[in-house]
Structure 1
């Protein structure tokens, strides 16, 4: 979760200033570990208000907190198989403090939260932007692996729907911290050197390669958790996302060591750009 709201707000403000963006609305997401999700059957003939009232009643059975301390939303997924009078409703809830801390960080950065999503659902939606870049059929098992600064998230999808999600503490900050420790740099200097170069020749062998090996091991471990708790024993393709996906050669290393076709996600490939960009 966000611990230093002011620091995050300042970082957002700096990023906006450097980008020159005039946008005032933003989307954020809460981590899956802080969210309770449940698919519940409900009557198909309920109108919008009736459905919302019934969801509130049903939610109280599954949420271990007072309902007035929770932010929740729902989505109708479709009819219940073999029972057209019922629909499947996806309920998602998180403590309101988890939502408000993200809203506060955005506000300190000069933005207004338009949407607060769930990370796993946001990744599922983003996956649709890269589906045509994959070399496997639509019903294949695809492991979307997001390696961020401090967390690595595995989201396994089939038919563009998430069927499994798991988080693990591991990310690019560990590489940055090692660069700081080994070369006596500040956090900002280490982050810049990591992206732009300028580190000693020993960096590749002594620092970067061990980190890449650790990254492969972490992804392999996440996949093993998935295999152990499901009917599957392999995925058809791995899609890398997050800052660490840009590390040179990491996709090839993962593919070689885990034996699974691996690509780096490019969600901007089909995006139209202004002539000024």
Structure 2
């Protein structure tokens, strides 16, 4: 399974998260990207637990729904595994080795790096840069994941009629998508440290990038599901009804003060906790700006609240800001979903590497 360095024609991006299957089809003309089609199809509870697929058939059916909604004709796709299920390691290798020789050497030495039997893992590698302390060596990124994490995704896509062409890692896809956001800032992100908080349905992932490269990632169990469950409990709704009410409104007047505001404060606490872990693990590195991604980033006013408590500039992710849209795509709907489409976007850019 190749994860890196495949030059491709356009492929569909399929992001399988806890709450939904997100599909995106991008094309490029010159330097500009265009959204050809996209869809977000909700998943039932427990189809994905802690980023692991627990029911391949349910995922396949939901991918089919997204394919129908989007109207895409593409049959090849790229998908990502969660960072928590991937082990990455930087190893140094002789710069004069060819790619095949590197692969051979990694295979021989892999049991030093990977805590599983080799027939249980998929892995790939990518040369990153010349080693700082020895110019005759290169730093090589090795990524390994248990085969079941990869195979479940490939199988779900196959059952939906798609061939998987690339399996990526969510943190790398997020890093890729950051290049689209960096263009939107008033000043350059070179040399800056940027925190991206992806607050999904059940997981919050912190990705810290320094100079456009990921230097730290951490996942913790917290997300929009807590808000849905509180709406469900408070107003006697089913989980599905609570999810719809959360997105489309129609809840009693006391909802904002009694339910939404406490949840927004809980988001701020989670962000503070995530950053605390980062600061304690990192040698005196400060964060220059923060980006909120994931479904919870669409909550009205959340960035102002976070900015006020963190004392740094905070932006809501919109990877589509500088893209053109095909006539099939409704601008308003896409802009509502944009913060949750970062991983799908990062996967989509792989077609144009």
User: When the two structures are superposed, what TM-score results if normalisation uses the length of structure 2?
Assistant: 0.75
Residues in 1 aligned to 2:187 and 2:216: alpha-carbon distance in whole angstroms? 19
Contact 1:136 1:237 in 2 (8 A): no
Q: Which residue of 2 aligns with 1:184?
A: 236
Q: Would the alpha carbon gap of residues 244 and 63 (structure 1) be closer, same or farther in structure 2, given more than 3 Å must change?
A: same
Structure 2: which 5+ residue stretches go unaligned? 1-51, 330-353
Q: Would the alpha carbon gap of residues 182 and 22 (structure 1) be closer, same or farther in structure 2, given more than 3 Å must change?
A: farther
CA displacement at 1:163 relative to structure 2: 0.7
Structure (1 or 2) with the greater helix fraction: 1
Residues in 2 aligned to 1:184 and 1:6: alpha-carbon distance in whole angstroms? 30
Deviates more, 1:50-59 or 1:146-155: 50-59
What aligned pairs does 1:34-183 form with structure 2 within 5 A after superposition?
Answer: 34-137=85-188, 138-183=190-235
Give CA-to-partner distance per residue, 1:201-252, whole Å, 9 cap, x none. Answer: 1111111111111111101100000000112353111101111111000001
Q: Which residue of 2 aligns with 1:232?
A: 284
User: What is the number of residues matched between the two proteins?
Assistant: 277
Deviates more, 1:227-236 or 1:196-205: 227-236
Residues in 2 aligned to 1:109 and 1:199: alpha-carbon distance in whole angstroms? 36
Q: Which residue of 2 aligns with 1:2?
A: 53
Higher relative contact order (CA 8 A, sep 6+): 2
Q: 1:205 aligns with which of 248, 257, 271?
A: 257
What aligned pairs does 1:247-258 form with structure 2 within 5 A after superposition?
Answer: 247-258=299-310
Residues in 2 aligned to 1:145 and 1:249: alpha-carbon distance in whole angstroms? 16
Q: Which residue of 1 aligns with 2:16?
A: none
Q: Which residue of 1 aligns with 2:295?
A: 243
Residues in 1 aligned to 2:80 and 2:230: alpha-carbon distance in whole angstroms? 28
After TM superposition, what 4+ stretches of structure 1 lie above 4 angstroms from structure 2? none
Structure 1: which 5+ residue stretches go unaligned? none
User: When the two structures are superposed, what TM-score results if normalisation uses the length of structure 1?
Assistant: 0.95
Residues in 2 aligned to 1:80 and 1:9: alpha-carbon distance in whole angstroms? 43
Residues in 1 aligned to 2:261 and 2:72: alpha-carbon distance in whole angstroms? 36
Root mean square deviation of aligned Cα:
1.5
Equivalent residue of 1:171, what SS? coil
Q: Which residue of 1 aligns with 2:351?
A: none
